[in-house]
Amino acid sequence: MFHTLTISDIRRETPDSVAISFDVPEELREAFAYKPGQYLTLRAEVNGEDIRRSYSIASAPGAALTVGVKRVADGAFSTFAQALEKGGELAVMPPEGRFICHEESNIVLIAAGSGITPMVAIAADALARGAKVTLVYGNRQTGSIMFRDALDSLKDRYLDRFTLVHILSREAQDVPLLNGRVTGEKITQLAQAGAVDLDGADGIFLCGPGEMIDDVAATLETRGVARNRVHFERFYQNGEVPRAPKSAAAEAAAKSGVAVTVVLDGTTRTFDMEAEDDTVLDAAHREGLELPFSCKGGMCCTCRCKVAEGSAEMAVNYSLEPWELEAGFILACQTRPTSEKLTLDFDAA
């Protein structure tokens, strides 16, 4: 699942972020083909701990495979990544993710902080195929703008189709509208000023911290923007995701013990889930069974599987769509059984 890739380049984007590019050998080209908006999961042993983190791909297909990593407070991997060097190696999982721009011809991208990473790839790709792109990008100050050179060069190249709006919260700009944070209210003001075409856009993409996404998404909903035109990818800065408490049924199942069966790559394994295990992923880990995962926060979908027998609930879900829930898909990293037996099928499409 993980492949060892060589770091072909590493560039400092801002004082606390780097762009890491990888060499993809010929034999892995197909496995590492991706769509703009997808992410890579990187894996490393940091201070004796096996850590995985997902980072969005910032390069358009055809360019060197690149991710942006911003250091977050107490972020073990993001701190470790700042010291990586060209020529070094990292374990990397092939691209995944469904935050993808398809054939939209007029897109609005709204990002804050390191949420810019997938937007660079989406913008570059959409502009190259003739789409109109508006990017609203929030930062504290000019010095914290990631991929500034890449954005400027897109602006130079596609002057007539690319609108770039920088919003800064800790540095005053001449136009008052451009000061502050990216919020639903700010987006409404930009739309009223004619800087953002929310009604004409056939795709609106949001990426950044959860509270920014929730606020802007609520505003879009109030304005009557169709839900299927809005796509989001959330980042939790502190790695902590608010989790729902267990239901009475999950508590009861945890107390009586649950026989969990997992089907992965055609192999079936059964183990007991114990009261100390919060999720199926935790229980599998305790059993020494390697299930696919990355964020462990319900955001990336790497642990997606299907309930083939029994029932379960999730602590949080930020990535499965309503149709997937309806079809019985679940996130193993959030799965708490509510029945005495539970079978999860990781091979289900």
- Are 275 and 253 a contacting pair, CB within 8 Å? no
Binders of ligand FES in range 319-348 (CB under 6 A): 319, 331, 333
Other CB atoms within a 10 A radius of the CB of residue 144 amount to 20
Question: Counting contacts by CB under 6 A, is residue 262 touching ligand FES?
Answer: no
Question: Counting contacts by CB under 6 A, is residue 293 touching ligand FES?
Answer: yes
Query: Smaller CB distance to ligand FES: residue 125 or 282?
Result: 282
Question: Counting contacts by CB under 6 A, is residue 295 touching ligand FES?
Answer: yes
Query: Smaller CB distance to ligand FES: residue 43 or 132?
Result: 43
Question: Counting contacts by CB under 6 A, is residue 294 touching ligand FES?
Answer: yes
* Pairwise CA distance, residues 113 & 210, whole Å: 12
CB of 244 to ligand FES, least distance (A): 15
Cβ neighbours for 145, distance < 8 A, ≥ 6 positions apart: 14, 116, 137, 139, 151, 166
CB of 320 to ligand FES, least distance (A): 9
Question: Counting contacts by CB under 6 A, is residue 302 touching ligand FES?
Answer: yes
**Per CB under 6 A, which region of 89-97, 115-123, 234-242, 295-303 contacts ligand FES?**
295-303
HSE-CB for 328 with a 13 A CA cutoff = 13
Question: Counting contacts by CB under 6 A, is residue 301 touching ligand FES?
Answer: yes
Question: Counting contacts by CB under 6 A, is residue 97 touching ligand FES?
Answer: no
Question: Counting contacts by CB under 6 A, is residue 40 touching ligand FES?
Answer: no
Tokens of 41: 């999961």
CB of 67 to ligand FES, least distance (A): 16
Q: CA separation (Å) from 42 to 20, 46, 234?
A: 11, 12, 18
Burial of 208 (0-12, 13-18, 19+ CB in 10 A): buried
User: Binding-site residue total for ligand FES (CB under 6 A)?
Assistant: 13
Query: Smaller CB distance to ligand FES: residue 134 or 302?
Result: 302
Q: CA separation (Å) from 301 to 54, 81, 134?
A: 11, 23, 28
CB of 43 to ligand FES, least distance (A): 13
Other CB atoms within a 10 A radius of the CB of residue 160 amount to 6
Tokens of 330: 């679940």
Contact footprint for ligand FES (CB under 6 A):
293-296, 298-303, 319, 331, 333
